[in-house]
Structure 1
Amino acid sequence: MLNIGITGQSGFIGTHLYNTLALDPEKYTRIPFKNEYFTTNVKLKTFVQQCDVIIHLAAMNRHNDPQVIYQTNIELVNQLIQALEDTNSTPHVLFASSTQEERDNQYGQSKKAGRYLLEQWAKKNKAWFTGLVIPNVFGPFGNPYYNSVVATFCHQLTHREQPRIDIDTELKLIYVGELVAQFINYIGIQDSENVADVERKL
Structure 2
Amino acid sequence: MKIFITGGSGFIGTHLIQLLDLMGLYEIINYDLKDPKIISNAIYIKGDIRNESQVFNAMRNCDVIIHLAAIWDDFSLDESEYFSTNVDGTQSVINGAKRHHIHTFINYSSVSVYGETEEECIEKMTNLKPTNPYGKSKLMAEKLFENWYKENLNISVVHLRPSVVFGKYNYGNIYRLINQINSGFYFNIQKSKSSLKSITYVENLTNATVFLLGKIKKGIEIYNYSDTPHMNTMQISNIIEKRFGKKAGLAVPYTFAFALAIPFDLISNLTGKNIPISTMRVKKYCTQTLNNSDKIKLLGYKSVFSSIEGLEKTVDWYKTNRGSN
Distance 2:31 2:78 in 1: 27
| Distance in structure 2 (CA, Å) of the matches to 1:49 and 1:133 | 27
Report the Cα distance in structure 1 between the residues aligned to 2:151 and 2:18, rounded to whole angstroms. 33
Partner of 1:111: 138
1:120-159 Cα offsets, whole Å, 9 max, x none, are 224423211111111111111111xxxx311110112223
Measure how far apart 1:53 and its partner are.
1.1
How far apart, in 2, do the equivalents of 1:163 and 1:91 lie?
49
Rate the CA distance shift 1:39–1:135 in 2: closer, same or farther, 3 A. Answer: closer
**CA-CA distance at 1:9 after TM superposition:** 0.4
Paired position in structure 1 for 2:179: 155
Task: Say if 1:33 and 1:47, in contact at 8 Å, map to a contact too.
Answer: yes
The TM-score normalised by the length of structure 1 is 0.85
Relative contact order higher in (CA < 8 Å, ≥ 6 apart) = 1
CA contact (8 A) 1:38 1:44 kept: yes
Q: How big is the shift at 1:164?
A: 8.2
**Partner in structure 1 of residue 26 of structure 2:** 28
Once the 2 structures are TM-superposed, how far is the Cα of residue 48 of structure 1 from its aligned partner?
A: 2.4
Instruction: Please say if residues 48 and 89 of structure 1, whose CA atoms lie closer than 8 Å, have aligned partners that are also in contact.
Output: no
- Structure-2 change in CA distance of 1:66 and 1:43 (3 Å): closer
2:9 is the counterpart of 1:13: no
Report the counterpart of residue 91 of structure 1 in structure 2: 103
**Would the aligned equivalents of 1:130 and 1:195 in 2 still touch at CA under 8 Å?**
yes
* Cα distance in 2, alignment partners of residues 164 and 49 from structure 1: 51
Is 1:141–2:172 an aligned residue pair? no
Judging changes above 3 Å, is the alpha-carbon distance between structure 1 residues 110 and 88 closer, same or farther for their aligned structure 2 residues? same
2:202 aligns with one of 139, 152, 176: 176
What's the offset of the Cα at 1:186?
Answer: 1.2
Query: What amino acid sits opposite 1:50 in the alignment?
Result: N
User: Following the alignment from structure 1 to structure 2, what is the Cα–Cα distance between the partners of residues 163 and 74?
Assistant: 38
Name the larger-Rg structure: 2
> For 2:88, which of 75, 83, 87 is the aligned residue?
75
> Structure 1, residues 25-61: CA drift from partner, whole Å, max 9, x if none?
1x21112323224254333112222321111111111
Query: Partner of 2:309 in structure 1?
Result: none
Identity %: 26
In the TM superposition, residue 196 of structure 1 has moved relative to its aligned partner by 1.5
Once the two structures are overlaid, the 10-residue window that deviates more, 42-51 or 183-192, is 42-51
Aligned residue type for 2:159: G
Structure 1 contact 61–69 (Cα < 8 Å) conserved: yes
**TM-fit CA distance, 1:13:** 0.3
What is the count of residue pairs matched by the alignment?
194
How many Å separate the matches in 2 of 1:16 and 1:22? 10
Q: 1:107 is matched by which residue type in structure 2? A: Y
Aligned residue for 1:194, secondary structure, equals strand
Separation (CA, whole Å) in 2 of partners of 1:107 and 1:69: 6
Match of 1:195? 222
Q: TM-score with structure 2 length normalisation?
A: 0.55
Q: Is the 8 A contact 2:50 2:85 kept in 1?
A: no
Gaps of 5+ in 1: none
AA in 1 matched with 2:148: W
Kindly state the Cα deviation for residue 194 of structure 1 after the two structures are TM-superposed: 2.7
How far apart in 2 are the matches of 1:101 and 1:118?
A: 15
Q: Which residue of 1 aligns with 2:56?
A: 45
Alignment match of 1:66 (pick from 55, 61, 79):
79
